[in-house]
């Protein structure tokens, strides 16, 4: 059983790490509208748009929780540090500080909420911690990058879409863990 946890943890860790360059790629190349010299946008709600990369940022928050569940707190913390470094490499130089700072702070907020709540259940903990992380990420990135919170609603809704989309998988993992007697790391 422990071998399964390491394999799954490795898959979640690889997915988490992949979200960072993919989010930055999407911002510049995938969207319903691509602003010249700016991000590619997607609709995330009535009258709301967001850079397309927000979808993968929301997914990264959930995957970090799953890394912690399978591999433990030390691995999750290490993933955050590596992720912050990756966010400086795969973003425009002008946004590197804002991207890395927002990533590091939001993932730490996610970790601080998830860690005590995971005893109450995976789904509740992952949802609550991801919401905390996505709000911190959105506020911090927008403020540091642009000195404005004008696009906050779209950022939050875009990230929340992926967190909600991940809920069925979280329910499935929780139920399978119970059935197989898998104890979180």
The closest of 93, 65, 92, 89 to 79, measured between CA atoms, is: 65
- Boundaries of domain holding 130: 2-180
The answer to the question of residue 71 being in a domain is yes
- Residue spans of the chain under pLDDT 50: none
- pLDDT for 2 equals 78
The closest of 111, 90, 20, 115 to 58, measured between CA atoms, is: 20
The answer to the question of residue 158 being in a domain is yes
- With a threshold of 0.85, does the pTM exceed it? yes
**CATH number of the domain encompassing residue 126:** 1.10.1760
Cβ(160)–Cβ(95) under 8 Å? no
Q: CA–CA separation, 39 vs 63, rounded Å?
A: 24
- pLDDT for 130 equals 97
**Phi, psi (degrees; rounded to nearest 5) at 177:** -60, -45
Q: CA–CA separation, 118 vs 170, rounded Å?
A: 12
- Please state the domain count of the chain: 1
The answer to the question of residue 57 being in a domain is yes
- pLDDT for 64 equals 97
The answer to the question of residue 84 being in a domain is yes
The answer to the question of residue 124 being in a domain is yes
- pLDDT for 140 equals 95
- pLDDT for 8 equals 95
- pLDDT for 181 equals 87
**Phi, psi (degrees; rounded to nearest 5) at 151:** -105, 20
Q: Is 45 helix (H, G, I), strand (E, B) or coil?
A: strand
The answer to the question of residue 185 being in a domain is no
- pLDDT for 137 equals 95
């Amino acid at each position: 059983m422990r071998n399964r946890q390491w394999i799954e943890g490795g898959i979640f860790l690889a997915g988490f790490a992949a979200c960072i360059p993919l989010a930055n790629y999407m911002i510049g190349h995938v969207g319903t509208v691509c602003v010249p010299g700016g991000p590619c946008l997607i609709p995330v709600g009535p009258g709301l748009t967001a850079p397309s990369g927000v979808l993968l940022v929301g997914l990264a928050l959930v995957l970090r929780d799953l890394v912690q569940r399978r591999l433990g707190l030390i691995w999750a913390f290490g993933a955050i540090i590596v992720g912050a470094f990756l966010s400086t490499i795969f973003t425009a130089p002008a946004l590197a500080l804002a991207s890395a700072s927002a990533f590091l702070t939001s993932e730490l907020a996610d970790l601080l909420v998830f860690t005590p709540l995971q005893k109450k259940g995976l789904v509740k903990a992952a949802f609550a911690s991801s919401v905390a992380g996505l709000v911190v990420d959105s506020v911090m990135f927008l403020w540091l990058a642009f000195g404005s919170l004008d696009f906050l609603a779209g950022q939050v809704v875009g990230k929340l879409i992926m967190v909600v989309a991940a809920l069925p998988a979280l329910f499935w993992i929780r139920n399978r863990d119970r059935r197989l007697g898998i104890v979180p790391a």
